[in-house]
Chain A
Amino acid sequence: MSKFRKKGKKGQPAVNTASLPDIVFMLLFFFMVTTVMRETTLKVENITPQATEVQKLEKKSLVAYLYIGKPVKKLQGAFGTAPRIQLNDAFKTIDDIPLFVEMEKESRDEAERNRITWSLKVDSKTKMGIVSEVKQALRKVNALKLNYSTKKTDKISNN
């Protein structure tokens, strides 16, 4: 009896933590590779509406974003509250869209240029007038594959 007890009383050895940095580095690299840094700072209010039939956008590198909404509180003094278009990092007008489309296409591989999805991130309170104008502008420059950015929800309501 006492033979066995003696052995157990010795106390457990400390767990070897030498491989801990390796594990953490592995996690670190995983996150570094899989995540994408947010590229633009939003200058417009942007709460996208909700929908049930949403699809995921597959290739992130093939998506170009157009933001529409009223300027954020901080910028309302200078820019007013009328809805505006934000392309990359600045407020732009409808007339700048052809150039924007051209630049976005230019920055992609030639084979992939026609597969770009144009994601419209429009604030849900925006009126359709400006959205339609943007759509027409995109249509004119042959940017036809659109995505209306929405959040997923289970049910939509009447109001």
Chain B
Amino acid sequence: MGRRDIPEINAGSMADIAFLLLIFFLVTTTMDTDTGLIRKLPPVVDEITDPPPIKQRNIFEILVNANDQLLVEGEYMQVTDLREAAKVFIASEPGNPSMPEFKDTEIEGLGVVQVSKQIISLQNDNGTSYEMYIKVQNELVAAYNELRNEFAQQKFNKPYTELVQKSGSSDAIKMKMKAVKKFYPQRISEAEPKKTGGAE
């Protein structure tokens, strides 16, 4: 009766308000996905009764001192040369007395193959910088990854990284990935750091 028509609300500024909110969220949120080197720590063992003896020829020894200098197998080395040296050690041919021993292992998809008994032993000082530690870790992981890629390319015509990416899609690819992994097992042993000295 006496009612007047309610005028329609003007929605023209709706877009402005929405834009304002949008810009607020764009600015305040971080899109960065965390990236890094994924490693696994060994579980705690109750008591080391008798560590199994490992022959010296199977160990690739890396020492890092407080001045971020590398000693690899008793020789001074630059970190940029570490990758090549590690690759040579990991992918050595059987029968070389100065290189690691081999063991016949049955791997699904490859049959019985000779797998190197290589172990990389890494020891750093308390004064080693974290940056250097990461560089060494990175070079070692890179050495393994490159060898796995080469091996997978040669055997299965696909690089290892591709096998890893597609391993969820089929069991055959997963088996191939595992075979490559078993052929070049990543064995990096980290000793507890020592305070061997050197300038702080």
Contacts and interface: CB of A to CB of B under 8 A. Distances in A.
Contacts of B35: 54-57, 149-152
A54 B38 CA distance: 8
Contacts of B28: 37
A54 B137 CA distance: 11
Nearest to A35: B29
A36 B32 CA distance: 9
A144 B39 CA distance: 8
A147 B39 CA distance: 6
A144 B126 contact: no
A135 B192 CA distance: 10
A106 interface: no
A115 interface: no
A127 B128 contact: yes
A128 B125 contact: yes
Interface residues of B, number: 47
B26 interface: yes
B197 interface: no
A148 B39 contact: yes
A122 interface: yes
Interface of A: 17-18, 20-21, 24-25, 27-28, 31-32, 35-38, 48-49, 51-57, 60, 63, 117, 119, 122-129, 131-132, 135-136, 138-140, 142-152, 156-158
Interface of B: 11, 14-15, 18-19, 21-22, 25-26, 28-31, 33-44, 78-80, 124-131, 133-135, 137-139, 141-142, 145, 192-193
